Amino acid sequence: KPGERKRKYVEKERKSQTPLLALLKKESARYLKKPLVTLNCILGTVLFVAFPIVALFNKELVSQIALIPDKGEIAVILTVLLCFISSSNIITSSSVSLEGENLWILKSMPVSSWKILSVKTVFHLLITGIPAILCTTFLCVLLKINVTLSLLCMATVCVFTVLCAVLGLFINLKLPNLHWTNEVVAVKQSLSSLLGMFAGWGISALLVGGHFLLGKYLPAWGYLGICIALLSVGAIVCGVWLKKRGTQIFEEL
């Protein structure tokens, strides 16, 4: 174009890498290059980092909570709160939409559709799961929750994160938005992103309601165990759907 500076070609070495690693780097590069997209997609990760810092600056309140004898009640409330924060990450709920009209490039790569969808799920788990585990561990230690309840709390948050990841991808495949002029529109003004977040909040609300109904009859470790089992079933069902029907929908886009 007139007035545009010519780019000087510089030869560089390129190392070969596995298709999965290449796809993961491609997925992460999109978010690193677009700060506005990143901030709208990883609100939960930001809260996972901020939550322990806020707790450290409110040591008196944390000490009072830690003195409560019913650690089971604290563990359940903490678990639901962390699940609610985890559902604020809407990475997979917009990951297919963010491909936009360049989706054909991704589909033309010599990898299966299932691997492409798996990488999008793994990226969500890396961005959300690792901060969630670290935050849960820190808060459980700070609140002096015993080891058994702490492990159940972490397991529940992890399984919930997996469910949100596959559920978000399910919703985005059903309601993709590939025709946008700005990537932020595909995230903030997308029906799939909104439904993905509301779905996570709805599941968190069910966890609260279940505790009110069953809390009188079950100990905290029993209730958390039931939550882990039900969330695992939901994640497996969504995962099986993605592998069978989800890949077909992706190939037809």
List pLDDT tens digits, range 5-29.
677 778 777 777 777 787 888 888 8
Residues 6 or more apart from 2 whose CB is under 8 A from it? Answer: none
Q: 100 — alpha (psi -120 to 50), left (phi > 0) or beta?
A: left
Per-residue pLDDT reduced to its tens digit, 118-160: 989 999 999 999 999 999 998 888 888 889 888 999 999 999 9
Q: Which helix (H) or strand (E) holds 235?
A: helix 220-241
Write out the two tokens for 122: 């793994």
Of 23, 96, 138, 130, which is closest to residue 242 (Cα–Cα)? 96
- Helices 113-142 and 43-56 sit at what angle, rounded to 10 degrees? 10
Residues 140 and 63: their CA atoms lie apart, in Å, by 12
| Range with the largest mean pLDDT of 34-43, 63-72, 111-120 | 111-120
Q: How far apart are CA 124 and CA 166, in angstroms?
A: 9
Between the alpha carbon of residue 239 and those of residues 40, 60, 162, 234, the distances in Å are 25, 43, 10, 9
Phi-psi region of 146 (alpha: psi -120 to 50; beta: other; left: phi over 0): beta
Helices 19-33/113-142 angle, 10° precision: 60
List 89's β-bridge partners, or say none.
42
Task: For residue 42, give the 3-state DSSP assignment.
Answer: strand
Banded pLDDT at 52 (limits 50, 70, 90): confident
Whole-number Å distance between alpha carbons of 123 and 21: 11
Asked if pLDDT for residue 1 goes beyond 60, the answer is no
Percent of the chain's residues with pLDDT above 70: 98
Mean pLDDT in residue range 57-74: 78
Output the six-digit token pair for 142: 């700070």
